[in-house]
Amino acid sequence: MTVPLSLVVCTVGRAASVGTLLRALPQLSRVPDEVIVVDASADDRTSAVVCDVMRESSALPLTYHRVPLEAGGLTYQRNFGAALACGEIISFVDDDTIPETDFFAELERCFARHPSAVGVGGFISNEIEWARGVPPSPTRFTAGEWSRELPVQFRLRRTFGLHSTAPLGHIPQSGYGWPVGFIPPDGADHRVEYLVGATFAFRRSLLEQQRFSSYFTGYGLFEDTDFCVRALAHGELYLATRARIRHLYCQDARPSPRRFGRMVVRNAWFVWRRRWPSPSLANVIRWWATTVLLVGCKFRESFVVRGRRRRRSVRRECIGRLEGIVGVLLRAPKEAG
């Protein structure tokens, strides 16, 4: 049995990506009952693309809304779209994603299987190369019969005793756990503590009680985790690995590498302390040690990536992360709303 389902797509400066996403929706087995595009672009290219899609597919229940870029960025757009949505389930996907055939149908089924769930996330199918039946190796992560390559930062965290024993997709008191990206495509629903903003959906009842925080201005980054941490007070969150979606990672409209680096540290600290307001001294030390280790990993990356432009970008992000560390030490972030 289906319930009314709304889709909110927040976008800025990605007209081509939005067009690709919207044109994919009519091909799905379950089409959203309404699609709300919230655009903060400085030009009219996205509105033109949306108009074209409306003409091409009159059956797609599509509406377009323009908001000023200076209004607050992604979290403002999310709140704006949620306030307009009429569905009992309100889904958000990034403008550079493409849902697979049964994506929305599987989101609905997951909510139906878990009446206590207030949020369900989709599985990004093109992000990680998973394998089955591969023998255990120090360079691989294993979950049941599935395994994937273990990134260098996780190998180093294990070497220095900074790895986490918390379940996948949970936030330990030390702040850095195993991300939801380590949950394998096993067809199961996994209870987690946070979902990724590229693909998640919430019950309308939750969004009527809770808003995305205005602390996260502009591009956002970890605003999804912050919202989910607060959502845990209202119910459970699940990652539905059958709800598959591809994320194309469009580079348009992203912040500068240096600014992104600052955001990585400051916003990570903010969300960590949201989840654990009074961590033990040992876990404070673990958080800072891991943060410094990640800067080192990023610095190492600047010597191994190909292309002068890419190397320069990675090094600027390193500088931003160092600035973020100093900034948190001098003036820790505080909630803005």
Same domain? 229 vs 261: no
Give the total number of structural domains in the chain. 2
pLDDT at 236: 98
Instruction: Report the C-alpha dihedral over residues 93, 210, 90, 81, rounded to 10 degrees.
Output: -70
Same domain? 234 vs 271: no
Of 138, 241, 103, 121, the C-alpha closest to 184 is: 241
Of 158, 173, 180, the C-alpha closest to 272 is: 173
Of 221, 74, 109, 315, the C-alpha closest to 323 is: 315
User: CA dist 73 to 48, 50, 141, 216, 250, Å?
Assistant: 21, 20, 36, 8, 17
Confidence class of residue 68 from pLDDT cuts 50, 70 and 90? confident
User: CA dist 158 to 175, 248, 272, Å?
Assistant: 15, 30, 20
Radius of gyration of the chain (CA): 20
Give residue 101's domain range: 5-125+185-247
SS3 for 223? helix
Same domain? 199 vs 325: no
Structure tokens at 221: 């980054």
pTM of the model: 0.93
Of 85, 65, 103, the C-alpha closest to 198 is: 103
In a domain, 35, yes or no: yes
Burial label, 4 (beta-carbon count in 10 A; 0-12, 13-18, 19+): middle
SS3 for 136? coil
Same domain? 62 vs 91: yes
Give the model confidence (pLDDT) of 296-314 as tens digits: 999 998 888 888 888 999 9
Same domain? 216 vs 113: yes
Give the model confidence (pLDDT) of 220-262 as tens digits: 789 999 999 999 999 999 999 999 999 998 777 678 999 999 9
Cα 279 to Cα 157: distance, rounded to the nearest angstrom: 19
pLDDT at 337: 44
